[in-house]
Structure formats: structure tokens, C-alpha cells
Structure 1
């Protein structure tokens, strides 16, 4: 289970290094996949749909006297049509304040207005910025990569430019070594066996939402959020009650599916992920509730755990 007790710091090695590393980029460039593979744990949920990540998620990796505290962020995007979108942008840009290092993730040889928007945010920081060019294994014409890297190097004074594949773990070790070299000397902030600051309740809610996003079409997932109403640990098992919140009656019917088939599939897949993470049997119960307009209502967002 994710550890959240910060009262017993790890005994760091001689001359330890410790610092905060923000992972930023436009939506769907692979930020969460990168963090999960660095940690060797599934912390941030993933899907092929943009803006899957909605909150800052802290992942901690402590190895050989180095503790890197990674901050996964929602994709920074230009359009802000709803309160939820504005919240995600604030969550992403606020992560840049006070960190020791930034990893700016981009997608292969693509560069668009979304990347340019993120670069404008990144250009304001005073700490080093590493540019991580992700998904290079998917570049069809490999000879395009080097000229693209050279063009990127002229856009900003990046500390390093590292081509990698988060999914294939190509060059991720090089990125981690680079991160370690830029972190400041100092004691660890967390015990060396703690890998996130997020609670089990948060992770359980995210796992349910991930399965909803992967099951449904392009538009519906953005009208869905998940609240954990019960998270009871009996020692050998966890009893979790999760409420799936949508905005319209029609969306509720879609998630339930024919005779409840889709909802059962969502629950089964989420429960299997939870049992792997929490390392115990999980009794998961799902309900669905319609809450009209929640994604564009600041008060509703706050009541659902979205910080202002």
C-alpha cells in the first residue's frame, strides 16, 4: 500500500542528493508512462485519450543516495473551455514553482502550438530543464531525428536533450542518471521505501477512472470523475466503495452497458489492478450518480477534491 507516513525519514548515504523534478508537456506525450516506468510501479493512470492525468501526482524514487521526487502533471493545453480544464492547467503550471529540475516531454518529431505553449511556461523557470523526446521507437524515418534534435536545441537553452522511449525503457536510465546529476545536495525528504505521497483512496479512485476512460468513447471520459466513499482495511482485504459521477442520464446508461456488462468489466479490471498494487484481496463495489455540470462548476470541483 502507498506509504504516506513522513515521520521517519530514511537514513541517507554520505553526501545524499534530493530534490523535486516536475514532468511537464502538452497532453498525451507520455508523461505518466514515463513516471510509471521510472518508479517501476503504476502510479499515474494512462490511456490514449489526452488529459487523462488531472492532478499533480508525486512519485518518489530513492536509489544509491539519491532521492528524486517526481511531480507528474496534467498536460498543459491552450484551450480552457471548462472549470476542470482551468484547474488542470493551474495544477500543471504551479508544479513549476520551487522545483529543482524540469523534464519537458515532447512527442517524437512533432512540434505544435501546444508544445510552444508549454515552452513559454518552461522558459520562466530558473532551474535546469531537460528536454525528453519520447516515443523515438515510433519514428518511421530514423534519419529525421537528428535534425529535429538540432532544431529543438535552438528553441531553448536546455540542460540536456535526451531521446528516449518510456514504453520500451530505452534511454530512461540515461535520463535518471542525468536527473541525479542535477539534484542538489541535501537530506532525503521521505523514507527510502516510500514511493508516493498519494493515499490509497486517491489511487483506487484513479484506477476506476482509468478503466472508464479506456472503455468509453472520445468525449464521455471528460464528463466522468470518481469518488471513494469507503476505504476499509480489514488486514487481509480491502473493502472499497467507489462512486462514478457523470453529468447526464445518457452517460450513466452507457457506463452501465447492456444488463450491467460494461460496469462489471470496469469493476473487474479496476479490482485486479488494485489487488496488484495493494497486495491483498479487494472487495470493490461501484455505483453511478448523475451530477449535472460538475466539470464546469468550481464549487462542485472543490467538493470533489479538486484544489483551487
Structure 2
């Protein structure tokens, strides 16, 4: 399933001989990963593609943008679409994220419905079941966090089986964190795909530009280091990337909603901002495989999550 924008990109890539012809019997398709916040969607995608492209955090609602990870095997090419955690929105940003998740559900070839197998199902899971029930796209119920299940895990597994049974959804269980049983999931996915071409060059792991990943890596460290003090009222813009012979210089702005949040991010004598920058720099150096100089600025944008204009300026739009 491809839109006009993707078709244009594919044509340009193929004309430049960057995408080879697929061998006989090759399969390909788009796989949407949906679930409640903090069930391990980004961890799963990172594990599947073998590289960190999506940020993870113990704080719920980490993912905001519809991020695509690409896994190419000798048998198939799978494009994973990581969506924001589905929950009732509380502000304009939440509405945009929910709508983008719903768009993703309707534009993929297979849906992975990810649940937290270490706890019983709840209202949030049933809400997603209701969203998935009308669609004709194949759904696989994925019971994650098998490594964290209690001794009486059979009760939990049966609890989730009851969600899938009325819809005849296939199901599987694994640990996205350790990688246990992911090969079973992968083979199950491939059986659901139709024969198709390479959509992207075989060595590509994401369709997102480096600047986007850089911004996400900075935001990840903010979530880790500030936890609940500065919640999800944070957005990152990469203002300048200057590549020099021996170092890449990056200048970025952290946008918050209140002066108090700016104070927390900067910290006493700049200590917090220094910690965020140091930790983010280490992650970005792994991304670009080179030395990085990172300079961060903090700017107050009052109520940016409530403003469609501010959301658009910061890169949060309804996706087609």
C-alpha cells in the first residue's frame, strides 16, 4: 500500500538504481504497530530492525510521530509503522496523535496489536479492540513482556486470548526487550504478506532523516532525566547541523510551555541542561558514527500543545 508521495519517491529511487528488482516469491508490505501507551511498541521496532531508530522511555506516550522502521530479509521487506500509544486525548496534540494512529491503522497491510502480557487487559485494550473490529486488515495480537510475566502467566494469556477469539485474530507471545520468540512473530508476519517489490533500498532501516532522529534522541534524554517534572510539554527543533572534517556541530532548541519548566531543564548553574546534552550527544554519536558537538537552547512557547499553528511549526501535523 503506497500513497502518491511514496510512489514518487520510489520512482526516483528506482531510476537511480538504488532499489534492486525483487527475486521471485519475494514479499513486502507495511505493518502497523498499535497498542496502549508504554506497552513496548518502540522497543519492538528497534529490536526487529536491529538498530535504535525510535526512542524508548519508562514514561508513557513517548512516541509522537509516525515512524517507519524497515527490515529486509532474504524472503521479505517489512516496513513497520510505529504509532503513538492510543488513549483518550486531553489536548490538541493528543487529538492529532490519535488521528494519526487511526490513519496508520487504515493504511497498512497487517496490524500488530501489542499488549502488556505482565498485567491483565484493561479498558484501554478494549478501546483499541473496538477501533480494530471494523477493519478488514489482518490483525495479530502480540503479547509482549513475556520475560516479566508472573508464575501464573496462563491466567494472563487466557485473559488476552479472550480479546482475540471473537475476531479470529492470530496471536503470539514474546519479549521485545530480550528478543525471545521474535523469530516466531517474524515468520507469522511474512505469511500474512502478499508478493511485492522492494519499497526501499535493502540496507535502509528507516525512512526518517537524521535530523528527526537527532531531535528524538534529545527528547528521550529529557524524559529519562526529568521524569514527571517536565512531562510531555517538550518539543525539539534541530536548528543547524554543520558537518566539518572531524566533527559534526549540532544546534537544537528545546521548546517548553512554562518558565518553571525552562528552569527545571536548565537546572542549577546549567547542570541539568549539561547532563541532557552529554547523554544525548553520546546517542547521536552512535547514530552518525562520528564525533559530535551539541549545543542546546531552551525556549518557552506557552500552550503550544493546544495550538494547531504551533503544532504545525514544531512538526506535528495530521498525516495522510
Shared fold, TM over 0.5: yes
Structure-2 separation of matches of 1:279 and 1:163: 34
Structure-1 separation of matches of 2:129 and 2:242: 43
Structure 2 counterpart SS, 1:223: coil
CA contact 1:18–1:184 (8 Å) conserved in 2: yes
Structure-1 separation of matches of 2:317 and 2:180: 35
Structure 2 length as normaliser, TM-score?
Answer: 0.91
**Is structure 2 residue 179 aligned with structure 1 residue 169?**
yes
Residue 89 (structure 1) aligned to one of 78, 84, 98? 98
- CA shift for structure 1 position 277: 1.2
Structure-2 separation of matches of 1:276 and 1:150: 40
Structure-1 separation of matches of 2:245 and 2:97: 35
- What do the CA deviations read for 1:197-224 (whole angstroms, capped 9, x no partner)? 1000100000000000111132522111
Structure-2 separation of matches of 1:307 and 1:268: 30
**Is structure 2 residue 250 aligned with structure 1 residue 234?**
no
Structure-2 separation of matches of 1:154 and 1:247: 45
Structure 2 counterpart SS, 1:144: helix
- CA shift for structure 1 position 87: 1.1
CA contact 2:34–2:111 (8 Å) conserved in 1: yes
Mean CA deviation greater in 119-128 or 287-296: 119-128
- CA shift for structure 1 position 236: 4.0
Residue of structure 2 in register with 1:244 after alignment: 254
Where does the alignment leave 5 or more consecutive residues of structure 2 unmatched? 1-8
Between the two proteins, the alignment pairs up a number of residues equal to 303
Structure-2 separation of matches of 1:33 and 1:150: 23
CA RMSD, 1 decimal = 1.6
Q: 1:188 to 1:244 in 2, by over 3 A?
A: same
Higher relative contact order (CA 8 A, sep 6+): 1
Residue 277 (structure 2) aligned to one of 264, 267, 274? 267
- What do the CA deviations read for 1:48-67 (whole angstroms, capped 9, x no partner)? 11110001000001011310
Structure 2 counterpart SS, 1:54: coil
- CA shift for structure 1 position 246: 0.6
- What do the CA deviations read for 1:102-154 (whole angstroms, capped 9, x no partner)? 00000114211111111111112212111100112111123324433442333
Q: 1:67 to 1:224 in 2, by over 3 A?
A: same
Structure-1 separation of matches of 2:77 and 2:65: 22
Structure-1 separation of matches of 2:179 and 2:302: 42
Residue 42 (structure 2) aligned to one of 32, 38, 49? 32
Residue 147 (structure 1) aligned to one of 152, 158, 162? 158
CA contact 2:230–2:264 (8 Å) conserved in 1: no
Residue of structure 2 in register with 1:134 after alignment: 144
Q: 1:248 to 1:150 in 2, by over 3 A?
A: closer
Residue of structure 2 in register with 1:225 after alignment: 235
Structure-2 separation of matches of 1:110 and 1:46: 22
Residue of structure 1 in register with 2:6 after alignment: none
